[in-house]
Structure 1
Amino acid sequence: MIQHPLFVIIASLITVAVGLYLGSSYIEIFATVMGIINLWLLAKEKVLNFLFGIITVTTFLYIYFTQSLYAMVLLSVFQLAFNVYGWYYWLRDRGNQDVRPTVQMTPKQIGITIVVILIGWMAWSYYEVNYTEVPHPYLDSLNLVISLVAQYLLSKKFLENWHLWILTNIILIITYLITGLYVMIIYSVIGFILCIQGLIEWKKSLQMLKR
């Protein structure tokens, strides 16, 4: 069901209906629908996901700025750059395939990634606690660092990007609950489901390449 385009249509309609019921802004609803389409295409390994990703990130950037989520604003700027790079990278050295093949990280790469996340989280948390008035600096910083690393791994087509996106959606649900962006909670729940599906689909693709 999740793989079928009908899932995207139903998820988008639910998002619009709930958003209008809760009185969410049209731009918030639009960003959420674009994000759902982006994630669905990403799970299907369609390069078109980057177009919707660019639209989604640009819209979220504006929303985050108006909510004073400055770490998220910075994240969106980097995500925009990674979407452009990912679009290029996925089409490079792809052979006869639609996109370049999925790859898996080595234990060393995983270890380095964990260290980078921890150092990045501590550094950005220190900055937000001491130099900004962000209401939830540790949560905001954690989401920024994990999302940024996940976006990089996605652009390089590492399978492990999905593990970080799953964690990111959990953090986002908490963030949106606190900030009152209720319609975007729906996006994160749907995103959580799509990320699990993406992990399953990319694993299947990787296993087929290993045969």
Structure 2
Amino acid sequence: MNPQIEKKFNLAFNIFLVCGMFIAVALTTAFKLRQPDVKAFMLLLAGFGSLMGVVNTVMSANGHILTFVFGFLDVLIGTIIYLDNGIYGNFALHAFYFLPMQVIGFRQWSRRGAGVKSDEGISKVRARRLSGRQWLFLAGGLVVLTAVLYGILYGVERLATTRSAVSSLSQEKIFLDSLVMSLNIAGQVLLSFAYVEQWYLWILVNISSIVLWSHAIVIGSGSGNAPVMLFKYVFYLLNSLNGLRIWMKLSASGQADHLDN
């Protein structure tokens, strides 16, 4: 693709993603503000956080250092929201893992050339690739982490229900929840250290999340946010596919390297 055409395509695509999510968040927020006993400030804060998350993913797809500025805002707001709602597991995950990883990612990308100003604009991060051994460690780690999280969430579900056994539908939901959490944890590591292969994980995250929120809509569980969450992850999936395309091109042009280089 001609560089000028590709630049215009990326700009138009990014505007489409951000504007689409802005409309979805604005409509959902306006609807919920009309409901009784709503915490207006927290609702508006959550909507702003969702937009920061979208901008964060768009920036990461384009290898821009501001990825971690918007990511920090997104995670910080998410931490506040989870704490306010008493969801302490996700609060701890955001506060003690995802938040520090934004700082680590900013430093790592800076060392790999992201954010340097020149006549051609602000430079993108120099991507790198996983070796075969690192792929094996990643796959093994994902299997173990998913199994551990499944066991924890299954135990929590057993304690929360009066039934003697967890239903098959609930087990499917628990597995998807465990898988999405594992992929998010691993994906954040690969993102922070600028690995191209992060996009394979984000694609799996987004597909799993689409299935998860579709399942929530079908069985009528969760809050009224399920439709907008489904819409959000459809946009995230489109962005991940575009991110993979951009980063693979960087790799093919010789701008990516292995850790041990």
TM score, norm. by length of structure 2: 0.70
2:25 is the counterpart of 1:16? yes
1:53 counterpart (71, 95, 103): 71
Aligned 8 A contact 2:26 2:47 in 1: no
Max Rg structure: 2
2:240 counterpart (175, 195, 204): 195
CA RMSD in angstroms, aligned pairs only: 2.7
- Separation of aligned partners in 1, 2:74 and 2:245: 24
Equivalence map 1:1-211=2 (5 Å): 1-4=9-12, 5-20=14-29, 22-23=31-32, 25-65=43-83, 70-77=88-95, 78-94=97-113, 98-131=123-156, 136-177=173-214, 178=216, 179-180=222-223, 181-182=225-226, 183-209=228-254
- Separation of aligned partners in 2, 1:56 and 1:170: 21
Quick one: structure 1 residues 84 and 12, their matched pair in 2 at CA, closer, same or farther if it must change by over 3 Å?
A: same
Gaps of 5+ in 1: none
Quick one: structure 1 residues 69 and 143, their matched pair in 2 at CA, closer, same or farther if it must change by over 3 Å?
A: farther
Gaps of 5+ in 2: 1-8, 34-42, 117-121, 161-169, 217-221, 257-261
- Where 1:209 maps in the other structure, the secondary structure is coil
Quick one: structure 1 residues 67 and 175, their matched pair in 2 at CA, closer, same or farther if it must change by over 3 Å?
A: farther
Aligned 8 A contact 1:2 1:194 in 2: no
Q: AA paired with 1:10? A: C
Aligned 8 A contact 1:75 1:144 in 2: no
Quick one: structure 1 residues 184 and 39, their matched pair in 2 at CA, closer, same or farther if it must change by over 3 Å?
A: same
Q: AA paired with 2:11? A: Q
User: For 1:117-149, what per-residue CA distance to the aligned partner results, in whole angstroms no more than 9, with x for missing partners?
Assistant: 000111122122225657753332222111000
- Where 1:23 maps in the other structure, the secondary structure is helix
Quick one: structure 1 residues 186 and 12, their matched pair in 2 at CA, closer, same or farther if it must change by over 3 Å?
A: same
Q: AA paired with 1:185? A: L
Quick one: structure 1 residues 129 and 66, their matched pair in 2 at CA, closer, same or farther if it must change by over 3 Å?
A: farther
TM score, norm. by length of structure 1: 0.85
Quick one: structure 1 residues 155 and 65, their matched pair in 2 at CA, closer, same or farther if it must change by over 3 Å?
A: same
- Separation of aligned partners in 2, 1:40 and 1:165: 13
Q: AA paired with 1:169? A: N
Quick one: structure 1 residues 146 and 13, their matched pair in 2 at CA, closer, same or farther if it must change by over 3 Å?
A: closer
Quick one: structure 1 residues 42 and 89, their matched pair in 2 at CA, closer, same or farther if it must change by over 3 Å?
A: same
- Separation of aligned partners in 1, 2:208 and 2:88: 16
Q: Identical aligned pairs, as a percentage?
A: 23
Quick one: structure 1 residues 41 and 174, their matched pair in 2 at CA, closer, same or farther if it must change by over 3 Å?
A: same
- Where 2:210 maps in the other structure, the secondary structure is helix
Q: AA paired with 1:170? A: I
Quick one: structure 1 residues 142 and 73, their matched pair in 2 at CA, closer, same or farther if it must change by over 3 Å?
A: farther
Deviation at 1:108, TM superposition (A): 1.6
How many residues were matched structurally? 211
Quick one: structure 1 residues 130 and 16, their matched pair in 2 at CA, closer, same or farther if it must change by over 3 Å?
A: closer
Quick one: structure 1 residues 28 and 42, their matched pair in 2 at CA, closer, same or farther if it must change by over 3 Å?
A: same
Q: Mean alpha-carbon deviation: is it higher for 177-186 or for 61-70?
A: 61-70
